[in-house]
Amino acid sequence: MQHKEDSYIDPEKIDGLEEQLIKLNRTTKVVKGGRRFRFSALMVVGNKAGVVGIGYGKANEIPEAIRKGIEKAKKSLIKINIKNDTITHEIKKKYCASLIWMKPASPGTGIIAGRNIRAVIEFSGIKNILSKTYGARNVINASKGAFNCLKSMVSAKGLAEKRGVEEIKSVFD
């Protein structure tokens, strides 16, 4: 398992980082003086070339919630391995009540994904993938589950080191 310091990616060193709002939510608290509104924003940040991050910000105003979400997304940036515009192996990951399944796809397939996880996949730079969300399909859990799927991907080199094998030939090589 990598330490947080080892896997940290400096957002200043990444070219072409783009950000997108996935979900904006307004909550209301009724108090003696009236209603108090608070906002939460789920943001995705990526360069569409193998670097992606996701962040959830909360504040009293929309711009501040979005800023916090972007800030947290930049802190959570990860690098993923992409071969032939797809992922290297099948992944199944559970996050809260959502189960996310991702499978590599042949060139020309496109992104087969629900709208809840599509933004995370697009901003990671994957162009061909099959995916399915089972269980709870709420936007926050599905997006975080998709991010965890991509985070848990293992490279062929990393797998070889883990098993103590000299070299593993990838299906895509």
pLDDT at 143 over 90: yes
Give the mean pLDDT of the chain.
Answer: 88
The class of domain 4-78 in CATH terms is: alpha beta
What ranges do the domains of the chain cover? 4-78, 80-163
Residues 100-133: tens digit of each pLDDT: 999 999 999 999 999 889 999 999 999 999 999 9
**Domains 4-78 and 80-163 fall in the same CATH topology:** no
pLDDT at 3 over 60: no
Residue type, 107: P
Q: What is the pTM of this model?
A: 0.84
Question: From its phi and psi, is residue 20 left (phi > 0), alpha (psi between -120 and 50) or beta?
Answer: beta
Contact indicator for 88, 156 with CB cutoff of 8 Å: yes
Q: Match domain 80-163 to its CATH number in 3.30.230.10, 1.10.1130.10, 1.10.10.10, 3.40.50.300.
A: 3.30.230.10
pLDDT of residue 167: 66
Instruction: Choose among 106, 16, 103: nearest CA to 52.
Output: 16
Q: Is 77 exposed, middle or buried (0-12, 13-18, 19+ CB in 10 A)?
A: buried
Residues 17-54: tens digit of each pLDDT: 899 999 999 999 999 999 999 999 999 999 988 899 99
